[in-house]
Amino acid sequence: MTVIRRRKGRPKCEHLSAELSNSKNESDMVWYTPRKAIKFAAYSRIIVLVIQVIANYLLADHEPDVFNPPGVQEPVGSLDPAVELLLGGFRRWDSIYMLHIAEHGYTYENTVAFFPAFPLLVKGIGMSLLYPLQHLMTFRHVLMVSAFLLNFTCFLIAAWYLYHLSTILIGKGNRPLFSVLAFSFNPASIFMSAAYSETLFVMLTLALMYHVEKKQCVKATIALALATATRSNGVVLAGYPLYFLLKTLFTSDQYPRRIGMIRDWMKWFSCVLYGLLPFFVFQYMCYVVYCKGHVYRKAVPSLLIDYARDRGYHVPSDEPSQWCYHQIPYAYGYIQKHHWNVGLGNYFELKQIPNFLLATPVVILSLYSVFDCITEFHISYKQSPSFRSWVKGKPMMYTPYLLHLLFLVLYGVFTVHIQILTRLIYSSSPLIYISVSKMLAKCTKTLQPSFPLKLIIWYHFLFIILGTIMHTNFYPWT
């Protein structure tokens, strides 16, 4: 009688399931890549562009009484109408300030509320890479093309940085890609395609955070310096290298000698000092231009001077402004308070209730992100054998991001115009994207989105569509 022997090892079904599991993991690794993240970012910018073109073409513009100086007379180029159709909706509200500064400089005192990095880059690209276009369109339209291309590029780089920063904070897998997905279709999307400085700023913010986490001091210094030259809230980012300094105080067992610790501290302290330098240089430039007007020799076109007289704007050739005689002549703070009534509690008015309602979703989502981090802190503290091990633990990596986000929420609600809070937070804090990625990751396991996640998805897409349409046609938005 023939005996049939069964081969030793795993059953066939287990072998097949293991192969399927391995192939699934390999396909996941191929899917969850930075290239996919950058594709999401690019697709989102194309979608916003298309919505903007349609809204700009079909709907009539509102005509608010806002800053909108006349353009210098130039021969109309053959491509001007096409640029106006494709990108005209991106030249609204604060974009007008940015493009005016890029074209003419700081000709009016109220323009010093906008920092110089973005306008300088827009003008630099328009005068170099896009110089041939000046033969086909006016310089104003060249700058519009330059601003769009700059923001498009910065957005893709920001997505790359967010993906890699997320892998440091939450590990590899699908969550870093979901963070980029939330970033690509965030509620402030229109401001990251229009000629605003938010996209450049979020790219520099994420770059700073990434290089601090990687302990790359020189690159972090460059990112911080450019961020403080881009927006005023770039100064707050100095807290990240400062937190790194404080953390080394509690985890200094890696330094066998005191000299090594002092050298490292000096390195990161220099990062903060050099990173904040552009902020003070710009304030000094404002002082020279508007308090020492005889030094400022740049000629301002008579057309722009006439516009300043009609609107009551201050120009460099006028008498020194009131803030020039302050003990600390701080231009930015004076302009914000004098022109936009920015100050503690100044925006708490009944007529501003609609703007507070528009900002409510981002406040709730931000506080949820903060609460989620605090919960992880509490769990890790209970599980840690000592204080030092708790400080070294992974949840404590969120500490500077949590404090930063909490500060932005409190500062935005009580001090600045509440309607800017959405773009302020979404262009400054990666923590809000990481929180959304956690919900999306749970959804992939249960295959059923939770009710809060559904609300967040509706919130994102509703603000993308409505925000783009409203902003494009000069209606007030966030």
Domain ranges of the chain: 34-59+75-288+345-472
Q: What is the pLDDT of residue 239?
A: 93
pTM of the model: 0.89
Q: Going residue by residue through the chain (478 aa), what tens digit of pLDDT does each one get? A: 444 444 444 444 344 334 333 434 444 444 567 888 899 999 999 999 999 999 999 998 888 888 989 877 777 788 999 999 999 999 999 999 999 999 999 999 999 999 999 999 999 999 999 999 999 999 999 999 999 999 999 999 999 999 999 999 988 888 899 999 999 999 999 999 999 999 999 999 999 999 999 989 999 999 999 999 999 999 999 999 988 888 776 666 555 556 667 777 888 888 899 999 999 999 999 998 888 865 555 677 888 888 989 998 988 888 888 888 988 899 998 998 888 888 888 888 888 899 899 999 999 999 999 998 888 776 766 666 665 555 566 667 788 999 999 999 999 999 988 889 999 999 999 999 999 999 998 888 777 888 889 999 999 999 999 999 999 999 988 7
Under 8 Å between Cβ of 429 and 404: yes
Letter string b/e over residues 150-163, b meaning 16 or more CB atoms within 10 A of that residue's CB: bbbebbbbbbbbbb
Look up residue 173 and give its DSSP letter.
S
Neighbouring CB atoms inside 10 A of 315's CB total 19
Mention every residue, 6+ apart, whose C-beta is less than 8 A from residue 378. Answer: none
Under 8 Å between Cβ of 179 and 437: yes
